[in-house]
Chain A
Amino acid sequence: MTGWGIIKGLGVTFKHFFETYLEDIRWWGKRYYTPEGIKLRTDARARGIFTVQYPEEKLPVPEEFRYLPFLVYDIGEDGKRIDRCTSCGICAKVCPPQCIWIVRSNDPVTGKPIPEPTEFYIDVDICMNCGLCAEYCPFDAIKMDHDYEIASYNRKAEHIYNKEKLSKPASYYASIRPTNFAMEEAARLEKAARVQTRRAGEN
C-alpha cells in the first residue's frame, strides 16, 4: 500500500517523542541536571531525548581525555617545588606542530646544564592536543590536562603559555588521572627498590 512506509517511519518518530516523556515520568526529578541523569541519557540503554544541556550540564570526561599539556611538579619536604621536567627536549622534538619551546641553561659555576628548564613555552594556538609529548616523556613530567574551557579575551598576549601557567602540582595530576598516576607511582617505587637492592648487593 502506498504511504504505508511513510506511516511506519512516522511511527518511529512518534516512538522517540513518546519515550522522552515516559522516561521523564519514570525518573521523575532525576533525569535533568543531576550526574545520574546525565549518565541515563548517555548510556547504551538511553531512550528518548539524548541532549545534554551544556553549560548547565557537563559530560564527565574519561580519564584518558586530553586537552593541552601541563607540567607536573612535586612538592619537596621543605615545601619547595621540584620540577619533574629535566629539559631533555624529547617533547619539543616529538611535537608534530612544533609548539613547544624549552630554554635550558647552564650552571654559572660548573658550566654543566641544569636539569630543569629555565623557560618552557607552549603556543596553545598551534597545539593540536595529540598527546605525543605526554606519551613519550620519560620522566612523567608533561601530562595532558582535562580543563577544556580556556577561552580568553586576548589571543595575542595570552595564548603562549609560560612555565608558570603550565605548572600544576602532582596532586592535581593524581586527581584527574588516578589510574595512570597509581601505575606510574608503582613503577617508580619498584625502580627505586631495585636500585636500592642493587646498591645493597654492591656493598
Chain B
Amino acid sequence: MSEQIAEKVTPDLAARFPGDVMPDQRPGYQGYLVNPEKLVEFATALRDEFGYDYLSSVTGVDYLPEGKMEVVYHAYRTTGGAALIFKVQVPRENAEVPSLVPVYRGAEFQEREAWDLLGIRFSGHPDLRRILLWEGFAGHPLRKDYHEPYFEEEFKPFKSRWPEGKVRRSEDLNPFHANVQYPEDFDPDQYVPQGDEAIYKSLESIPSRDGDMKVDRLIVNLGPQHPSTHGVFRMIAALEGETIVDLKPVMGYLHRNHEKIAERNTFLQIMPFTDRLDYITSMSNNFGYALAVEKLMGVRPPERAEYIRVMMAELTRIASHVVSIGFLLNDLGAFFTPMIYALEERELILDIFEAVSGSRMMCNYFRFGGVARDLPEGILDKVKDLVLERLPRKIDELDTYLTQNEIVKVRTQGVGVLTAEEAISYSAAGPILRAAGVPYDVRRADPYSIYDRFDFDVAVRYNGDVYDRYLVRLEEIRQSLRILAQVVRDIPEGPVMASKPQYQVRVPAGESYGRVEGPKGELGYYVISTGKPNPWRYHVRAPSFINLTSLAKMCKGNKVADAVVILGSVDIVLGEVDR
C-alpha cells in the first residue's frame, strides 16, 4: 500500500473496477464516472488502497438538457499531488446518490448543501436537512429550471439596459412581500419553525455522560446575534452543567446564492462578486477564480503579473491572520487592545490595496491573464518598507505580547483538540489542518502560479488545539514575509496582461477546478463552461464553511465559554460560510 501512495501517477481505477468505473470522456472533462451503486465501495478503496484520504470538494451539477444530475467529488492525497476527480450521474428527477459521510466525514455539510440547493438526496446521510435555506423555501434554487419570484432574465447583460434603457428602481421590480414564494401547502402566518424543534429534540436524546452527579440537560442558543460569532451564525449547544455534550451549527442567515448569481453573470462579471465571499481576503478569492478560468482558457499571465499576484495574495494572508489573531483575543476576553494593534497592521496593508486596486476591501484586481493595472509609482517602495522593516518588528511585538501570556495559554492549550486523522477525515483545511500535524499547504502540495520558485516553510504544529492554531498563524505570517521579501527582490518589469483586455472573454467548453491556499484554507473554484459567455456551473469550495464541519467534534467535552474561543480559532467569515 505504501508504495502505491508514494506513486505520483494516478492509479488505473477503471481496471480495478471493471464495468463500474469509466474514464470521463466528454471533451474538456477529466476524471472518472462511477456507477452510483458502487460509489461507497469505490471511495473506500480510494481512501484505503490508493491513499486519497482527503475529500476536498463535493458538489452537484444540473445537466438539464441531458436530464441528468451529476455529483462531482475532488479527492486529494495529503502527501501532495493533483486531484482525483470522480463523478456519479443519476436521473434528474428524484436524484438519489449514496452518501459518502461514512467514508469521508468532511462530506457532511457539502452533501447537505447539494441537497439544499440542487435537490440531490444522499441516502445514508446522518442528518440530511436544508443547510443554507430555510425549510419554508420552495424548490432548489441551483436547478436550471428554477426561477426566483423577481426573475428578470436568464443571463446578463439584460436587454432592458441598452439601447433603449428602461430605467426603474430595483425595489419596484422586487417589492417587499412579493419577493418570496412559498411551497404550495405553506402558510407563512401559521409557520412554526419545526426544524428548530427537531434539533432541540435530537440534542435532548443524546445519552448523558457517565458520572454520579445528576445534571439537567440545557439547550442554549449561541447566536445568531452574538458578538462571538463574528457575524450571523448560530450554535445550538446541549449542555450538562457547563460542559458541551453536543453542538449543532446553524447557518445561512447571510445566504444570497452567490453561485446562482454567478451563473447569471458573464465570466468577467463574476470577478467583483468573488470579493464578497470572504471579504477580508478578496485578493485571494480573485486569485482562485482567475486560476480556474485561466485553466479553461489556457492562458498564463506574464511574469510581472505573476509576481504582483503572489505579492497581493501574501499581503492578504498577513492581513487575514492578524485579524484572526486579534479577534481570537477578543473572544478570549482581552477586549479590543490586541485586536486594535492587529488592525493597525492590516490598515497599512489595505492602504496598499487601495492604491493598487482602488478599493480597500472589494479589490476586484485580478483579470484572466494578468491583473487589472500595473502597480502605481511608489507602491513597491511602500511594500518594501512594510515587508522588510515594519511588519517583522510588529509581528515579533505581537509574539511578545501574547504567546507567553499565562492567561492565553491556560485558556487555549488543550482546548478544541482535533487530531490529525480527524482533521483529514473532516476535510479541515488551512491552519486547522496544519495545527493538527498535517503539513498540507496547497502552495507546496500542488503548486500553482509561481509558488514553486519561492523558498518558504510550511508552518506545522502537532497538538491540534487553539493555541497551536494561533502559533501556526503567527508562523505563517513570518513565512509570508519571507516570500514577500523574495517577491520584492525579484519582481521584473514588463506587461501585466497576457493579451489586450477584453470585456467578453471566450472560454472553451470544459470543466476546471482552480484552488489556492487562502488564508482560511483551501479555496477552490469549480467552473464548467459550455462555450457561452456565462458559466454553466460555478461552485465555490469555501474553506470557512467546510471547516465548520468539525466544529461540533472540537467543542464536545469543552466548556461553553470555550465554544466561543474554538469558533474564533476556526476563523470563519460569514460572507463565505453562507455565500
A62 at the interface (CB under 8 A from B): yes
On chain A, the residues within 8 Å of B564 by CB distance are none
Q: Is the interface of A mostly helix, strand, loop or mixed?
A: mixed
Asked if residues B167 and A132 are in contact (CB atoms below 8 Å), the reply is no
Assuming the A-B contacts A64-B376, A144-B358, are A96 and B170 also in contact, with contact meaning beta carbons closer than 8 angstroms in the complex?
no
On chain A, the residues within 8 Å of B166 by CB distance are 101
Asked if residues B376 and A96 are in contact (CB atoms below 8 Å), the reply is no
Mark the stretch among B78-86, B399-407, B433-441, B480-488 that contacts chain A: B399-407
On chain A, the residues within 8 Å of B39 by CB distance are none
Partner of A6, one of B163, B344, B406: B406
Asked if residues A102 and B169 are in contact (CB atoms below 8 Å), the reply is no
Asked if residues A9 and B402 are in contact (CB atoms below 8 Å), the reply is yes
How long is the Cα–Cα vector from A189 to B160 in the complex, in angstroms?
36
B332 at the interface (CB under 8 A from A): no
Mark the stretch among B237-245, B266-274, B317-325 that contacts chain A: B266-274
Partner of B170, one of A4, A87, A126: A126
On chain A, the residues within 8 Å of B266 by CB distance are 94
Asked if residues B362 and A64 are in contact (CB atoms below 8 Å), the reply is no
B341 at the interface (CB under 8 A from A): yes
How long is the Cα–Cα vector from A129 to B268 in the complex, in angstroms?
15
Q: Which of B504-527 contact A (CB under 8 A)?
A: 504
Q: Which of B356-389 contact A (CB under 8 A)?
A: 356-359, 362, 364, 372-373, 376-377, 382, 385-386, 389
B18 at the interface (CB under 8 A from A): no
Number of residue pairs spanning A and B whose beta carbons lie under 8 angstroms apart: 152
Partner of B359, one of A66, A87, A96: A66
Greatest chain B CB density within 10 A among A9, A92, A123 is at A9
Q: Which of A117-139 contact B (CB under 8 A)?
A: 119-121, 123, 125-126, 128-132, 135-136
**CB pairs A–B below 8 angstroms (29 shown):** A3-B406, A9-B404, A9-B405, A12-B401, A42-B351, A44-B348, A44-B382, A44-B386, A45-B390, A62-B354, A64-B356, A87-B163, A90-B503, A94-B157, A94-B268, A94-B503, A95-B157, A96-B270, A98-B161, A100-B162, A101-B160, A101-B166, A102-B162, A104-B162, A104-B164, A119-B165, A123-B170, A125-B169, A130-B271
On chain A, the residues within 8 Å of B373 by CB distance are 64
Assuming the A-B contacts A92-B157, A101-B166, are A128 and B272 also in contact, with contact meaning beta carbons closer than 8 angstroms in the complex?
yes
How long is the Cα–Cα vector from A20 to B252 in the complex, in angstroms?
43
On chain B, the residues within 8 Å of A160 by CB distance are 167, 169
Asked if residues A13 and B165 are in contact (CB atoms below 8 Å), the reply is no
**Contacts A12-B397, A64-B358, A129-B362 known; 10 new A-B pairs at CB < 8 A:** A5-B409, A64-B373, A92-B157, A95-B157, A102-B161, A102-B162, A123-B167, A123-B170, A130-B271, A131-B358
Assuming the A-B contacts A92-B157, A131-B364, are A125 and B341 also in contact, with contact meaning beta carbons closer than 8 angstroms in the complex?
no
Assuming the A-B contacts A132-B268, A132-B272, are A65 and B358 also in contact, with contact meaning beta carbons closer than 8 angstroms in the complex?
yes
Chain A interface bracket (under 10, 10 to 19, 20 to 34, 35 or more) = 35 or more
Greatest chain B CB density within 10 A among A11, A90, A93, A95 is at A93
Q: Which of B246-268 contact A (CB under 8 A)?
A: 265-266, 268
A50 at the interface (CB under 8 A from B): yes
Listed in ascending order, the chain B residues whose CB lies under 8 Å from chain A are 156-158, 160-167, 169-170, 265-266, 268-273, 337, 341, 344, 347-348, 351, 354-359, 362, 364, 372-373, 376-377, 382, 385-386, 389-390, 397, 400-409, 501, 503-504
Greatest chain B CB density within 10 A among A2, A44, A113, A179 is at A44
Asked if residues A62 and B376 are in contact (CB atoms below 8 Å), the reply is yes
Taking the nearest CB of chain A, how far is it from the CB of B484, in angstroms? Answer: 13
A89 at the interface (CB under 8 A from B): yes
Listed in ascending order, the chain A residues whose CB lies under 8 Å from chain B are 2-6, 8-9, 11-13, 16, 42, 44-45, 50, 61-66, 87, 89-90, 92-96, 98, 100-104, 113, 119-121, 123, 125-126, 128-132, 135-136, 144, 156, 159-160, 179
On chain A, the residues within 8 Å of B376 by CB distance are 62-64, 179
Taking the nearest CB of chain B, how far is it from the CB of A15, in angstroms? Answer: 8
On chain B, the residues within 8 Å of A94 by CB distance are 157, 266, 268-269, 503
Q: Is the interface of B mostly helix, strand, loop or mixed?
A: helix
Assuming the A-B contacts A6-B406, A179-B377, are A96 and B272 also in contact, with contact meaning beta carbons closer than 8 angstroms in the complex?
yes
On chain B, the residues within 8 Å of A3 by CB distance are 406
On chain A, the residues within 8 Å of B355 by CB distance are 62-64
How long is the Cα–Cα vector from A83 to B6 in the complex, in angstroms?
66
- A87 closest partner in B (C-beta): B163
On chain A, the residues within 8 Å of B403 by CB distance are 5
Asked if residues A93 and B161 are in contact (CB atoms below 8 Å), the reply is yes
On chain A, the residues within 8 Å of B356 by CB distance are 64
How long is the Cα–Cα vector from A144 to B272 in the complex, in angstroms?
15
How long is the Cα–Cα vector from A123 to B504 in the complex, in angstroms?
23
- A159 closest partner in B (C-beta): B169
Asked if residues A98 and B158 are in contact (CB atoms below 8 Å), the reply is yes
Asked if residues B358 and A121 are in contact (CB atoms below 8 Å), the reply is no
On chain A, the residues within 8 Å of B269 by CB distance are 94-96, 132
Taking the nearest CB of chain A, how far is it from the CB of B279, in angstroms? Answer: 12
How long is the Cα–Cα vector from A66 to B501 in the complex, in angstroms?
19
Taking the nearest CB of chain A, how far is it from the CB of B114, in angstroms? Answer: 26
Asked if residues B358 and A2 are in contact (CB atoms below 8 Å), the reply is no
Asked if residues B162 and A89 are in contact (CB atoms below 8 Å), the reply is yes
Assuming the A-B contacts A2-B406, A102-B162, are A93 and B501 also in contact, with contact meaning beta carbons closer than 8 angstroms in the complex?
no
Asked if residues B169 and A156 are in contact (CB atoms below 8 Å), the reply is yes
How long is the Cα–Cα vector from A102 to B271 in the complex, in angstroms?
23
- B357 closest partner in A (C-beta): A64
How long is the Cα–Cα vector from A89 to B354 in the complex, in angstroms?
28
Taking the nearest CB of chain A, how far is it from the CB of B397, in angstroms? Answer: 6
How long is the Cα–Cα vector from A2 to B407 in the complex, in angstroms?
10
How long is the Cα–Cα vector from A102 to B406 in the complex, in angstroms?
63
Asked if residues A5 and B167 are in contact (CB atoms below 8 Å), the reply is no
How long is the Cα–Cα vector from A128 to B256 in the complex, in angstroms?
15
Asked if residues A104 and B161 are in contact (CB atoms below 8 Å), the reply is no
